[in-house]
Amino acid sequence: MTIEKDTTQEQLDLTNPYEIAKFIKQAKKSTPVKVYVQGDLGTATQEGIKKFGSEDFWILFGEHVEIADFLATHQHVIKDYVMENDRRNSAIPMLDLKHINARIEPGAIIRDRVKIGDNAVIMMGAVVNIGSEIGENTMIDMNAVLGARSMIGKNVHVGAGAVVAGVLEPPSATPVIIEDHVMIGANAVILEGVRVGKNAVVAAGAIVTKDVPPDSVVAGSPAKIIKAKDEKTEEKTKLLDDLRG
């Protein structure tokens, strides 16, 4: 079987929100389903549908429209079936995780066209949108959200429930940039276009609307600098190597 490359995706400029939006609009929409069938399907086949099983139990994989047509055509030999479906008219597939050199826990939702560095950790419930980049040894904690084109550096911790705003809608040329060795507390929000400098700390629940200088600690809503990062802060925000690699 010959697999044709998707040159449209290869040429996609992830720095241009309008091009990403155009790509999503033009992408072939998919509503994949999985069906468990009790019935004598025998040698019944249909293009675009994969069928596995024997005798009177089968599992079908394919697009909803094609599967529905297949079930209608063969309803006279089908006793019962159950259909599973988890998306509708989806434009962007999930990232293929099999060869990613990182720890990605069940329930993480990561769209295609995302870059993940070595030994990164993405926890349960985290959501990572198209065009995002995650540096090596960085942890994206439970239920954190990285919006489209988020740029996350190395050795960063994005706390549980934190939100890094995307720049796809409304469109913006400047993504959120989190530099290396940054600690972002739980439920913090980093708004569009903000740059958080190296070694900075964003307190839990902070709403960051402006750039954060390196080696500073910010807190509040809107976030303000409350002090420079010191040894005490360093100790409290230390990353654990055993959780990575």
Domains belonging to the chain, first-starting first, are 32-85 (3.30.70.250), 103-243 (2.160.10.10)
The proportion of the chain whose per-residue pLDDT surpasses 90, expressed as a percent, equals: 79
- Reported as a pLDDT band with limits 50, 70 and 90, residue 6 is very low
Buried b (16+ CB within 10 A) or exposed e, 206-240: bbbeeebebbbbbbeeebeeeeebeeebeeebeee
pLDDT at residue 107 greater than cutoff 80: yes
Per the listing, tokens 């200088």 go with: 213
158 close to 139: Cβ distance less than 8 angstroms: yes
Q: Worst-scoring range by mean pLDDT, 3-17, 79-93, 165-179?
A: 3-17
Alpha-carbon dihedral sign for residues 180, 181, 186, 189? negative
71's enclosing H/E stretch is helix 64-73
What pTM was estimated for this model as a whole?
A: 0.86
pLDDT of 14: 79
Q: Identify any residues that bridge with 110 across adjacent strands, giving them in sequence order.
A: 128
Q: Are 67 and 50 in contact (CB under 8 A)?
A: no
pLDDT at 10: 54
Q: Are strands 151-152 and 201-202 parallel, antiparallel or unpaired?
A: unpaired
Tell me the pLDDT tens digit for each residue of 48-62: 999 999 999 999 999
Across the chain, what does the average pLDDT equal? 92
